[in-house]
Structure 1
């Protein structure tokens, strides 16, 4: 006959006096796979729990209790656990001293030197839509997939974080952070603030490969190793001379300011000798020039955007590492006492300036295309 004893609000089933108490606990090994184990004591020690789990000796055995919060708490051989009030889940393994780690700032003591990404996911209850990263000082964080192994035998606490997977794509100098592994070229241009219907030659740059022409409908898989950027070039860009449209009133569009701020460039507008300029500081240059950055200036016509921006100016004068002379750079402009050399780069008849769609944004794409053309990028 079974009786019931009461301690406060807890009612615990027991056997008749003199009969053994049978209680079931859940015990996991290094794989965090649980099995049910019977124990005859409601306040067992760590040593009793290890023996109940099947270990003949408690030497070198780690007993970790899984608390209701998900934390792991070490149970010493002579320390008791009250199974009447506490969770009956344990990780009991033969191991070296426990290794300490954190997952999303939650601390765990893990009894093995090696831990897999899958076990970290179980341990930290990381949802499937998040990626686990091993945080490292002075290095990029390392992504830990479920099948990857991490050696915890390093000084200090090993820190892991989980976050939504993200991929980066440089679209003509605008760095996008995307949370899906694929994106259509048209969507990438819109996300970066470019009009996809402007009329572009679009190229995908992958490290170690020749640039690849792509279409607006092309799907880019951002998981492809080495993807660097999308480069945009206005169609039918060529060298040539074209008259500058007479000035009337100076204007800089809101879209221009937003684009320049997205690029993170330091920029100024100024007037020198009745000429209106947009001055860009520390403008990055592709490999192949004798300098890595330069000041670049665009002369803004008075009726912009009705009138087109023509070419661009640079200071100091740009030169190629190869020593080859750059053609069509005879224009000159003086800004803040320095002489800028102007590049004569005009749009061809197939893609003339359109006041409804062209701006500083598209002109800078022409600048980048002209700079890259000289070094065969």
Structure 2
């Protein structure tokens, strides 16, 4: 035991902020502890000692406390009596008639990811907010229970529960099985408010009153109108067009949100071993292509290995249709780009080779 613990006790008031106080007696009585806390005998201070079990025990004014064998933490407050309440079946004492949810949490050490519920007769358990006060002076013992906190959200009609109150739209969509390789208009409905558009990377605070659901609507679906034609913001080589069409891929050429040119392949299938099976694949196409080489590639949504580990060198980014793609920095190191022979076909082969390599295929 260090010197400060040998010569000090730790005293807190109703704020439960424990501070070291010098005491030169290893067996003080309750009155001495109250005096060390700044109270005179005529103030009739209540002294509560923290026991190893976590509960606090009332120390009478003339009761001896052996500091060598027990706890040195005390609550000292001016009061004429103590009040009782119970949490999870364990009884606690408190020197004040009024107590709030935050104090109960701190006193009993209820974790942040747990809910604190007041048990009521003939009524469902009621969650106690941090700032809400309870009168312990009323008849009977107030009883509380702690429960693992869950927050609910409907996503595309699927009711989901989360063990945290801040959830990204992406996480909610993935839990509901939404195909994030498609283009979605995403709407958050909050009771009593107008629905609001959100993006896939926004965070929702599920503690907000009235939050009900997330709705995903395909961007390219209208009121019975034909689906929009794929974008062709610029041309690629005829051999590229033939290759992409032959594979049956849905592809577009577009100008990204970052102002750069991209060949965008929808519903691209990844090999087994990644956190997603289908993504959007993007290749940046410089204006001088095919003289200017195709280099690296981009995926959306971001992927990791099934182990949760990120593949190496995926720190590049591209911004397309308002979302951020994960850039894989992969370059030709043995055979340089040959504008006479290389094109989208050879670059797609490089992409597939890199993706298989990371999962050992």
- TM-score, normalised by the number of residues in structure 1: 0.47
- TM-score, normalised by the number of residues in structure 2: 0.49
The structure having more radius of gyration, on CA atoms, is: 1
